[in-house]
């Protein structure tokens, strides 16, 4: 997992192991002993640094949220979408994405806050690009949810592709699929206008 060069302490190794195991198994499915073994430390050291699994989870939530915001800022300050390299992003982003999705499903307030921030960002991005959805907030929320749903259904998506989307190659492949979902129109402008009018009438 990507982390700052000076973040190589036992505490960081524990946190990284917890993010990976919580993401794979859920909060209830990963024990302190499992996390300690994955980090190469004793269970006592995990408790020394974090006190409890709940406190460790809170630290993971904070770290994952901060790193995703940092990575997002880094990408937006470079060359935008054209600069994305799925192979390079996978080891940095995938464990955090998987963890945050699982954390949202388990009721984490921090993970939910990050989702809401993502919706805000997409809404601003759409405005900056001159896009004019009839309901900008619903458009942004739908886009954020579609992107996350890939990880909620990762087993089913992997089976459909015949390739594990947790691997760099599978991650890049589903990323390409998502890009085309967002860029290939499913309806004509005329059909879209009819749908908008029907939706307005039903409100």
Q: Which CATH class is domain 10-202?
A: mainly alpha
Instruction: Give the rounded distance of the alpha carbon of 88 from its chain centre.
Output: 16
* Predicted local distance difference test score (pLDDT) of residue 132: 85
List the domain boundaries for the chain: 10-202
What CA–CA distance (Å, rounded) separates 10 from 45? 9
Residue 57's φ and ψ, nearest 5 degrees, are -60, -45
pLDDT digits (tens, 9 = 90+) for 72-131: 776 665 555 445 555 556 667 888 888 888 888 887 787 788 789 889 988 988 888 888
What CA–CA distance (Å, rounded) separates 54 from 50? 9
What CA–CA distance (Å, rounded) separates 124 from 35? 39
* Predicted local distance difference test score (pLDDT) of residue 7: 47
Instruction: Give the rounded distance of the alpha carbon of 151 from its chain centre.
Output: 8
What CA–CA distance (Å, rounded) separates 89 from 141? 23
pLDDT digits (tens, 9 = 90+) for 28-66: 889 999 999 999 999 999 999 999 999 999 899 889 888
Residue 184 is classified by DSSP as S
**pTM (whole model) above 0.75:** no
Helices within the chain (DSSP H only): 10-25, 32-39, 43-50, 53-76, 86-105, 109-128, 136-152, 154-161, 168-183, 189-202
């Amino acid at each position: 997992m990507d982390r700052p060069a000076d973040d190589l302490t036992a505490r960081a190794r524990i946190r990284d192991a917890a993010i990976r195991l919580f993401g794979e198994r859920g909060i209830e499915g990963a024990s302190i002993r499992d996390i300690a073994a994955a980090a190469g430390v004793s269970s006592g050291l995990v408790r020394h640094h974090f006190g409890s699994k709940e406190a460790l989870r809170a630290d993971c939530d904070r770290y994952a949220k901060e790193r995703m915001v940092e990575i997002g800022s880094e990408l937006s300050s470079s060359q935008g979408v054209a600069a994305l390299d799925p192979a390079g992003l996978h080891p940095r982003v995938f464990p955090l994405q998987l963890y945050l999705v699982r954390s949202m499903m388990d009721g984490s307030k921090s993970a939910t806050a990050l989702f809401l921030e993502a919706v805000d960002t997409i809404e601003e991005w759409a405005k900056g690009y001159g896009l004019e959805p009839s309901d900008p907030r619903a458009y942004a929320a739908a886009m954020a949810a579609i992107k996350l749903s890939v990880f909620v259904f990762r087993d089913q998506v992997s089976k459909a592709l015949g390739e594990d989307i947790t691997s760099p190659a599978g991650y890049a492949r589903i990323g390409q699929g998502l890009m085309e979902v967002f860029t290939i129109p499913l309806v004509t402008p005329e059909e879209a206008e009819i749908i908008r009018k029907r939706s307005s009438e039903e409100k």
